[in-house]
Amino acid sequence: MNSHIKTDFEGREAIRCVQQLGMLKLWERLKGTAALPQAAAVQEHDLERLREKLMLLDVEWHDGAPRYPIRYQGSDFDRMHNRNCVGLLLNEVMAPAVRERGLKTYRQVVECQTPAFNSTPVRGEDGAIVNYERLLLPFTRSGQDVEQIYCVITLFTEDNLSPFVTMSSSASQGS
């Protein structure tokens, strides 16, 4: 599987989703000259257009390593996982086949205190390709460390099929 990770955002042209671009611009505006933007600065109206694509994770430290409890997930995540995962750890809901690679991106966001974007093509049982595109944005509460990550996902299918059907069949194969 080919996956492209960008953390400098000079390559922001890879982002195709208007909601992801809007959230990245909000993150940059809220960040200003600080190392990280404050999570409290995000307003409800900032999230209205992307709520279904959003997952909000806390960053907690356990034995010197970050863990990611899911605080909120939008309806797109409900459909992808066939359940509500609020309260679970991210590693508990990621498919085993992609878990380590996926968690590496989250660790990168925490360590570098910068956003990350990746696009991963997934082939469904029916042969259709769905591009799983994920934007991760780090936020702080204290002003120093990454304490929350906003994850905005978009699924693109080139064949005009429902990306959720293709993703569900792929996820069930990986479990």
Please give the CATH topology (third level) of the domain spanning 4-174. Beta-Lactamase (3.30.450)
- pTM of this structure: 0.83
Residue 49 pLDDT class (50, 70, 90 cuts): confident
| pLDDT for res 135 | 94
Q: Where are the chain's structural domains? A: 4-174
Q: Quick check: 143 pLDDT over 70?
A: yes
- C-beta of residue 109 within 8 angstroms of C-beta of residue 136: yes
Q: Which residue do the tokens 């049982």 mark?
A: 125
Q: What is the pLDDT of residues 7-38, one digit of tens each?
A: 445 557 788 888 999 999 999 999 999 999 99
Q: Quick check: 162 pLDDT over 70?
A: no
111 vs 83, 126, 127, CA distance in Å?
30, 38, 37
- C-beta of residue 111 within 8 angstroms of C-beta of residue 11: no
| pLDDT for res 1 | 42
- C-beta of residue 156 within 8 angstroms of C-beta of residue 134: no
Q: Quick check: 44 pLDDT over 70?
A: yes
| Mean pLDDT computed over 76-93 | 89
- C-beta of residue 171 within 8 angstroms of C-beta of residue 81: yes
Residue 126 DSSP symbol: T
The pairing of strands 54-58 and 129-139 is: unpaired
Q: Distance between CA atoms of 93 and 16, rounded to whole angstroms?
A: 26
| Mean pLDDT computed over 100-115 | 93
| pLDDT for res 16 | 83
Name residue 167's beta-bridge partners: none
Helix, strand, coil % over all residues of the chain, rounded to 5: 35, 30, 35
